[in-house]
Amino acid sequence: MKDTLFCVGSVLVSLLLATISLRYVTHTWLLAFVYSFQAHFALAAVLATLVLLAIKRHWFAYLLLAVGVFLLGHGLFMLKAFEAAPASAATQPVLRLMSFNIMNDNLGNGARIADAVIASDADIVNILEAEPLRPEIARLSQAYPYRIGCGTDTDGCDTLVLSKRPFLTQSVSSIGDLWPNRLIQTAIDVDGTKINFASVHLAKPYFDDFQLDELTDLRKIVAETDGPLLLAGDFNSAIIDPHIQRFMRATGFNTVFPEPATWPIRAGAVGIAIDHVLARPPLRLTSVTRMDDSIGSNHFGLMAEIAIER
């Protein structure tokens, strides 16, 4: 009986580790979900292998354990690879950002979400799938007089950017070929420094290669943007995903480690971060925290504080 359990368990763990390891050979969109959960699945494989060793001490189980530990360690390394260097003691936050995918069909919670937006005291608010806030625009405009989306620059209410400060520039455009108008670019003045901000909502990575096309377009746009740049939104992938890794290396963005988990909400703190706030020097993220309440959305929102390294 022990031999049978060991054999079946070894096969299952081997298949899991082989699936994770495919990222080192090729990237296929069919396995994008697995790549974002590499650290989680590798940890599960390590724990399963320890159970196998309790059943039977065999060289193959030790081999599986070694592979699992490597994949777990490398996964954590990749999650930490783009962490910004610690800010100097004199560096103080100058900008507060809220970024939240509130889910288009979350219509019953529009008023509560608007309350959270106003209470956040953020300088810039980035709302994705913003339809629930359409009835709240007049109330939000009292706290945030500057707006892009939901009737301003676009008739739709998919992406909504609110600001307490005047926009120096503003534009709405599309990236990739799947969803229109999911890139908003703007800039504001903060103590004499022009800070560029971009809001993005990428396709799910297992929708063929649409996300890869969007990242290719976004990479070009980032390269053409001069000066401090802040990028926030729903990437639908963790930083560990191979496509996101290449994007981060090419663009020079930094993030925090560990990033707050935003999805799935039932997993809480042990989920993955598919919503990101990224900063390009001289901007520095001093903190990125998760909102306590998802307010009916299938994502948690993020609050970020940003400083400028002079």
Radius of gyration of the chain (CA): 21
pLDDT tens by residue, 5-58:
888 888 999 999 999 999 998 877 778 888 999 999 999 999 999 999 998 888
pTM of the model: 0.92
- At 63 the pLDDT is 95
**pLDDT band at 273; cut points 50, 70, 90:** very high
- At 3 the pLDDT is 77
Residue the block writes with tokens 């639908």 = 236
With 80 as the cut, is the pLDDT of residue 71 above it? Answer: yes
Tokens for 259? Answer: 């990033």
In degrees and rounded to multiples of 5, residue 183 shows phi and psi of -130, 120
Average pLDDT of the chain, as a whole number:
92
- At 75 the pLDDT is 94
In degrees and rounded to multiples of 5, residue 293 shows phi and psi of -120, 130
pLDDT tens by residue, 208-251:
789 999 999 999 999 999 999 999 999 999 999 999 999 999 99
> Burial of 266 by CB count in 10 Å (0-12 exposed, 13-18 middle, 19+ buried)?
exposed
Spell out the alpha helix ranges (H) of 81-194: 110-120, 137-143
Which are the contacts of 181, defined by CB distance < 8 A and separation ≥ 6? 154, 156, 158, 159, 172, 173, 174
Q: Residue 260, preceding bond cis, omega within 30 degrees?
A: no
